[in-house]
Amino acid sequence: MTAVCAGQQFPSASKGGERVPGSPSGSDDRAAERGDCSADPPLSDISVAIVENHEIVARSLVAVLTTWGIRATALCCGQLDQSTLVDVVDYGPWWTGPTRIALVDLNLRRDLDGVELIRPLCDRGIVVGVVSGVGDRIRLARAVEAGAQAVVSKAQPLSELLEALTDLAGGSGAVTKERRAELLAELAAERRQIQPLLAKLASLTRAEADVLVRLCGGWHVAEVAAVQVVSVATVRSHVHAILVKLDVHTQRDAIWMARAAGWVSHDRQQPMPYATRLRG
């Protein structure tokens, strides 16, 4: 028996009565390897909310997890803001078992990074795992720092996700201590490197920061002026101040600095939440 997901076939829990390697029925073996004497909970105790931006991907995962006896629901973020989306996940009627797990993609929308959902969801008592195509180790490290207990690539076999879910339900987490320490060390090194850039960016006034954000999003000076309801000359004055404070010569250099420091990213048009607080 096979479950079809996005054009690929994934093995179901059993095949001719023989256990498929990596299937949840092998959870006792993994528990023994971890030195955990308690058996993992049955999959029927797991409820999973898949927070995705692509409905087809989310529903395909739901279909596959359902074949394993896991209660799963697809939640596409649509245009919901962060706090509303967290409420929708938390108060939804789909939670049936004692273990609530949210699988979050990191690339949700241009203005919504999945990392921003992790800590609020954890604070609601929801176990969070990341299932994403993102390969940027710094972003994955931020997810782990925020509380993600599993990081699974969409490129990995489905059995890896199922093992991670079983580990999460057992309370052990699916990120090893070694991998967690490695990711957080890389994140700390990255922050030490970008701190001088963030210090310069923190010197921008709120109006200057807004201009830089829009420039990073591909806006022209005239478009910024129209949105801010100011003259083009005023916006150009802000741009000049930005170049002086950042000690760069061109708008391109200022945009590069903002992205290199993680103040904005290539797929966002507002300062990242971990950036130094802006002056008013």
CATH code, residues 2-175: 3.40.50.2300
Q: Where are the alpha helices (DSSP H) in 22-136?
A: 27-34, 55-67, 82-91, 115-123
Per-residue pLDDT, 42? 62
Rg (CA), the chain: 22
Task: Round to whole Å and give the CA distance between 136 and 255.
Answer: 20
Who has greater pLDDT, 257 or 272?
A: 257
Structure tokens at 68: 């394993």
User: What one-character DSSP code corresponds to residue 186?
Assistant: H
Average pLDDT in the chain: 80
Give residue 160's Cα distance to chain centre: 18
Residue found by looking up tokens 């207990």 in the block: 149
pTM of the shown model: 0.67
> Could you tell me which of 133, 195, 169 has the C-alpha nearest to residue 39?
169
pLDDT digits (tens, 9 = 90+) for 196-240: 988 999 999 999 999 999 998 889 999 999 999 999 999 999 999
Are the beta carbons of 37 and 18 closer than 8 angstroms? no
For 97-112, what is the mean pLDDT? 87
In CATH terms, 195-260 corresponds, of 2.60.40.10, 3.50.50.60, 1.10.10.10, 3.30.70.1380, to 1.10.10.10
User: What one-character DSSP code corresponds to residue 175?
Assistant: S
> Would you place residue 123 in the very low, low, confident or very high pLDDT band (cuts 50, 70, 90)?
very high
Task: Round to whole Å and give the CA distance between 238 and 69.
Answer: 58
Helix axes 137-146, 177-201, angle to 10 degrees: 100
Residue found by looking up tokens 């741009």 in the block: 239
Q: 147 - beta bridge partners?
A: none
Enumerate the domain spans of the chain.
2-175, 195-260
Strands of 87-227, DSSP E: 99-104, 107-109, 112-113, 127-132, 150-153
